[in-house]
Structure 1
Amino acid sequence: MGQMIEFAAGDIDARGYLATPESGSGPGVIVVQEWWGLDSGIKGMADRLADNGFVALAPDLYHGELAEHTEMDKAGELMNSMPPERAAADMSGAVDALLARSETTGDGVGVVGFCMGGMLTFLLAATRPDAVKAAVPFYGYPSGDDGPDVSKIEARIQGHFAETDDFFGPEGVRELEQKLQDMGKQVTLTVHQGTGHAFMSPHDALDTYDEQLAETIWPQFTGFLHEILD
């Protein structure tokens, strides 16, 4: 269904995977990759969003690099060596590219991110409040002093997180939700009981995929995106 496209990201060229609905048009959604890279799993997520009526664009934040699902050390190295400024520029460029496409309806976009991409979903919402109207982070969130200025976020947020997660613990989810709510943000961050990190990912790299829960969450978050972006 999808295809690789090129777009401008500041002073450099970036690439991403674009999937469009059969209807030919729909609201735009940025899909932000896991730490593996722009792999078949993320392309599959973009395809499924297109099946749900969205024009989905997943920027390639590693610029062609990939880690196999058995290469956790490599995935960690790729994530840690990714220049944050370049990632921010790539995602911002993807927003502009998506809004410029004739297939994209409306004047704003949604953002959906998984794992590392969940964390980056907050970054993109904070750096592009002019365009990001809805954000759906999975598993990941910013923590520490190096995170984005979340006070700038204007998007409505519906987040989904794991109860057992060595990468992004549930205590941090609750603290972030309270912080955002105290700022007056429209945010709901749900910690799903009995789940582990990457419970939405069919590749099941961590043996944590929960198909039943995933099928329950899909209409919840796609309905949320349609409600805001249509």
Structure 2
Amino acid sequence: MGSIVEFSAGDIEARGYLAVPGAGSGPGVIVVQEWWGLDSGIKAMADRLADNGFVALAPDLYHGELAEHTEMDKAGELMSQLPPERAAADMSGAVDHLLGLDSTTGAGVGVVGFCMGGMLTFLLAATRPDAVTAAVPFYGYPSGEDGPDLSKIDAAIQGHFAETDDFFPPDGVRDLEAKMQEMGKAVTLTVHQGTGHAFMSPHDALDSYDEQLAETIWPQFTGFLHEILD
């Protein structure tokens, strides 16, 4: 369904995977990759969002690099070598490109991110509060002192996280939700019982895909995005 497009990201040219709904237009959503890169799984997520009426753009944050689902060490290396400022610039350029398309309706965009992309969802919402009005992070969240300035976020957030997750423990989810709610942010972060990291991912690289839960969550978060972006 989709195609590779190029766009400006600061002083460089970036690229991403763009999927447009059959109707030809709809609200814009940025899709932020897992630590594997811009792989078939993320493209499939963008395609499915297009099937749900969104113009979906997934920026290629690794600039062509990719880890196979059996290459966790390589994926970790690629993630660790991604400077947050470059990721922010690429995602911000993707936002501007998305808003500049005739097919994108509305003045704001949503962002959906998985794993590493869940963490970067908060970063994009903090760096582009002028444009990001809805955010849906899966599994990942920022932690530590080097995270984004959460006080700058204006987007409504609906997050989905795993109960058993060594990468992003659920205690951190609850602490983050309480912190952001104390700031007055519109945020709901749900820890789903009986789940492991990447429970939404059909590639099932971690043997944790929960198809029944995934099919329950899809209309929840797409309905949330439509409610805010339409």
Q: Hey, which bits of structure 1, 4+ residues long, moved more than 3 A?
A: none
Q: 1:40 matched to which residue of 2?
A: 40
Cα offset, 1:84, TM superposition: 1.4
Secondary structure at the aligned position of 2:124 is classed as: helix
1:23 and 1:178 map into 2 onto residues whose CA distance is 40
Matched, 1:196 2:221: no
Listed one character per residue, the Cα deviations across residues 141-176 of structure 1 (whole Å, up to 9, x for unaligned) are: 000000000000000000000000010000000000
Q: Which residue of 2 aligns with 1:73?
A: 73
Query: 1:88 & 1:213 partners in 2: Cα distance?
Result: 30
Residue 85 of structure 1 deviates from its aligned partner by 1.1
Structure 1 gaps, min length 5: none
Q: State the distance in 2 between where 1:183 and 1:82 align.
A: 29
Q: Which moved more, 1:79-88 or 1:28-37?
A: 79-88
Aligned residue number for residue 184 of structure 1: 184
Structure-2 separation of matches of 1:228 and 1:86: 28
**AA in 1 matched with 2:40:** S
Structure 2 equivalent of residue 214 of structure 1:
214
* Separation (CA, whole Å) in 1 of partners of 2:57 and 2:207: 27
Q: With structure 1 as the length reference, what TM-score do the two structures score?
A: 1.00
Aligned partner of residue 92 in structure 1, secondary structure: helix
Give the TM-score taking structure 2 as reference length: 1.00
Q: What residue in structure 2 maps to residue 148 of structure 1?
A: 148
How far apart are 1:83 and its partner, in Å? 1.6
**Residues in 2 aligned to 1:84 and 1:186: alpha-carbon distance in whole angstroms:** 25
Q: In structure 1, how many angstroms separate the alpha carbons of the residues matched to 2:85 and 2:7?
A: 17
In 2, Cα distance between the equivalents of 1:111 and 1:83?
20
CA distance in 2, matches of 1:84, 1:122: 12
Q: How many residues of Structure 1 are paired with residues of Structure 2 in the alignment?
A: 230
Q: Counterparts in 2 of 1:160-171, with a 5 A limit?
A: 160-171=160-171
Match of 2:223 in 1: 223
Q: Structure 2 unaligned runs (5+)?
A: none
Percent identity over paired residues? 87
Q: Secondary structure at the match of 2:161?
A: strand
| 2-structure distance, mates of 1:39, 1:203 | 10
Q: Distance in 2 between matches of 1:210 and 1:122?
A: 24
Pairing of 1:86-165 with structure 2 (within 5 A):
86-165=86-165
Aligned-residue RMSD, C-alpha: 0.2
